[in-house]
Structure 1
């Protein structure tokens, strides 16, 4: 009886140590050409597990499989996918994505670029438009942006968000 219990304990310990050996902690710094990027996203590809960089651009993720790929992203920068390959420290430098920075945004009182916008910005693409019979342009985007309410009274159009 004691031998059977000891064998079972050894099996459980072996399985636990095998699982721990394949997962590791990964940390590092995310920066650009001018310094650290606070608030950059670091996610394990194919999962929702990730972290955000602190004020100094540092991040740490626990339980990363040795064969995982990390996706580094930040607004206005090109996303970068980096395989872990058993490394515990990954320092990444993101490159600016000029196309994203120069995107024009139409706002309620004019137009601007994304990098100069001071309020919240939501993009609605043609694929996102409502289908079916559309009687007016505002019906194309009705319900496609959280917190925005479109209503029409008389000849005026009102958008509130």
Structure 2
């Protein structure tokens, strides 16, 4: 029987065409090396591809969705509040009713609530799915806000000149509207009225 097997292999090899034989030998070599690589990595969980793909999948399942409402000190809903997961670039803003929803990477994340004119608030999620926030006004940072023609910016972020007109100066002007009152008081202000 042993002699028949040893004669069978050379017989099969001699009957195959050379390109087919080379292809089959390469295929067998690749399959055997794959088995050896998987067997070598099986004992070392941290280096195996199986562990890496499972840890990535596990991270997705650890994400939780946190929602809540942001209000001010008087209980009014605050739209446009910036909510960010501390230490990441994940963030959202509250809607017109002060409500928000955000996915956080894990239950131990901390949410940072910020809004111009209010103190920043940091709230740990601590595994909760609902986190409400009450923001307190900050009077000292309000002086650092500049109203510009197309929005608001902080003074430190502004790259252009600033003109200041006090309310007393505007009140002294004998004009029918605020636009006309500013025209002579602030350099570079041009007011155009259309009817």
Task: Give the TM-score normalised by the residue count of structure 2.
Answer: 0.49
Rounded Cα–Cα distance in structure 2 between residues aligned with 1:24 and 1:73:
21
Rounded Cα–Cα distance in structure 2 between residues aligned with 1:93 and 1:79:
10
Q: 2:71 matched to which residue of 1?
A: 31
What is the DSSP-based 3-state SS (H/G/I as helix, E as strand, rest coil) of the residue aligned with 2:58? helix
- Given candidates 123, 126, 137, the residue that maps to 2:155 is 123
Within 5 Å, give how 1:137-156 maps onto structure 2: 145-146=158-159, 148=160
- How far off is 1:63 after superposition? 3.9
Rounded Cα–Cα distance in structure 2 between residues aligned with 1:17 and 1:145:
44
Which segment is superposed worse, 61-70 or 31-40? 61-70
Rounded Cα–Cα distance in structure 2 between residues aligned with 1:23 and 1:121:
34
Give a deviation string over 1:114-157, Cα, whole Å, max 9, x none.
5xx46434413xxxxxxxxxxxxxxxxxxx744x38xxxxxxxx
Q: 2:95 matched to which residue of 1?
A: 54
Could you list the runs of 4 or more consecutive aligned residues of structure 1 that deviate by over 3 angstroms after TM superposition?
10-17, 117-122
Within 5 Å, give how 1:50-89 maps onto structure 2: 50-89=91-130
- How far off is 1:79 after superposition? 0.4
Rounded Cα–Cα distance in structure 2 between residues aligned with 1:62 and 1:121:
28
Task: Give the TM-score normalised by the residue count of structure 1.
Answer: 0.58
Larger Rg over CA atoms: 2
Larger proportion of helix: 2
- How far off is 1:42 after superposition? 0.2
Higher relative contact order (CA 8 A, sep 6+): 1
Aligned length: 119
Structure 1 unaligned blocks of 5 or more: 106-113, 125-143, 150-157
Rounded Cα–Cα distance in structure 2 between residues aligned with 1:104 and 1:67:
33
